[in-house]
């Protein structure tokens, strides 16, 4: 059966670069997770009107560590450091395990 043509850019990208390539999809999912963590850390710091230097001092690290944690392409997030940052704002970290069934097909379209 012939595949239906589309003009949806995200579907085209998915078909061209991700469909049938589980290693690429896994890599994309990891990058999205890293970027999400970075955005959340940045937002938490900004919402509390703190500089990277102030936050670093508060959690016992350096401003360069905070800067790296807030970069979307950083891959070394440690749960311990994230918990230290959360605790410094009287927050806690929650970890969830969610099903990825059915997510693969809509990966590029829904995010």
Domains of the chain: 31-103 (1.10.260.40)
Per 3-state DSSP, the chain is made up of helix, strand and coil in percentages (nearest 5) of 60, 0, 40
* This prediction's pTM: 0.76
pLDDT in tens, 12-64: 988 888 889 989 988 988 999 999 999 999 999 999 999 999 999 999 999 99
Rg of the chain (C-alpha set):
18
pLDDT in tens, 85-111: 999 999 999 998 888 765 554 554 544
């Amino acid at each position: 059966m012939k595949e239906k043509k589309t003009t949806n850019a995200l579907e085209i990208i998915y078909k061209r670069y991700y469909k049938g390539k589980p290693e690429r999809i896994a890599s994309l999912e990891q990058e999205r997770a890293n970027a999400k963590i970075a955005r959340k850390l940045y937002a938490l710091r900004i919402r509390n009107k703190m500089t990277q230097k102030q936050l670093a001092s508060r959690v016992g690290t350096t401003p360069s560590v905070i800067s790296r944690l807030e970069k979307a392409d950083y891959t070394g997030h440690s749960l311990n450091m994230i918990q230290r940052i959360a605790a410094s704002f009287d927050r806690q970290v929650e970890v969830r395990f969610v099903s990825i069934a059915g997510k693969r097909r809509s990966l590029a379209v829904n995010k």
